[in-house]
Amino acid sequence: MIKVAIIIGSTRPGRNGEAVAHWVGDLAAKRGDAEFELVDLKDFDLPLLDEVMPASMGRYDLPHTRTWAAKIDSFDAYVFVTPEYNHSTSGALKNALDFLYSEWNNKAAGFVGYGVNGGARAVEHLRLMMGELQIADVRAQVTLSLLTDFENYSVFSPAAQQENAVGAMLDQVIAWGGALRTLRSHALSRG
């Protein structure tokens, strides 16, 4: 079975992202077709990018980069749970993406966005980054509205149909995650 990380893209005190990610994790855990793990950026306490070399050069000098790299390398696919800040994703998630390169390559990703317009603009920005990181992003995405899927913008109370949206997104992430694992193993066996 493939391993999928559900990455909490917000580190703010009082963040809505934690409840959203746990809801995705609980729905995912009911499936039997992949393993899922919540990955909280807060636990990695990454500083603003402080490596000398760009990640694509493959040299990580600092212990926090190596710890983050080992965690991300252990997955076949990712679900990015992203807030929308100023029409983009969080600085924390952008920074965490920038820290690594090969660990992201030839993996699959799906998105759960939340904001006034379902975090749609944050997800569009993330999609632009995916190509450069060689992550294959699936079409289906979850768009949670602060107006209708939260009470008072802060108590997460998703509309019933959002569960179907999570299911459709995970179906695609798992299918592509499996296909890309095959691709990676062929690449390795060719040396």
Ligand X SMILES: Cc1cc2nc3c(=O)[nH]c(=O)nc-3n(C[C@H](O)[C@H](O)[C@H](O)COP(=O)(O)O)c2cc1C
Residues that bind ligand X (CB under 6 A): 10, 12, 15-17, 83-87, 115-117, 146
CB of 85 to ligand X, least distance (A): 4
Nearer to ligand X, 113 or 177 (CB): 113
Nearer to ligand X, 87 or 184 (CB): 87
CB of 13 to ligand X, least distance (A): 9
CB of 97 to ligand X, least distance (A): 17
CB of 67 to ligand X, least distance (A): 23
Nearer to ligand X, 17 or 158 (CB): 17
What does the H/E/C string look like for the chain? CEEEEEEECCCCCCCCHHHHHHHHHHHHHCCCCEEEEEEEHHHHCCCCCCCCCCHHHCCCCCHHHHHHHHHHHCCCEEEEEEECECCECCHHHHHHHHCCCCCCCCEEEEEEEEECCCCHHHHHHHHHHHHHCCEEEEEEEEEEECCCCEECCCEECCCCCHHHHHHHHHHHHHHHHHHHHHHHHHHHHCC
Nearer to ligand X, 15 or 22 (CB): 15
Nearer to ligand X, 25 or 178 (CB): 25
CB of 8 to ligand X, least distance (A): 8
C-alpha–C-alpha distance, residues 121 and 126, integer Å: 9
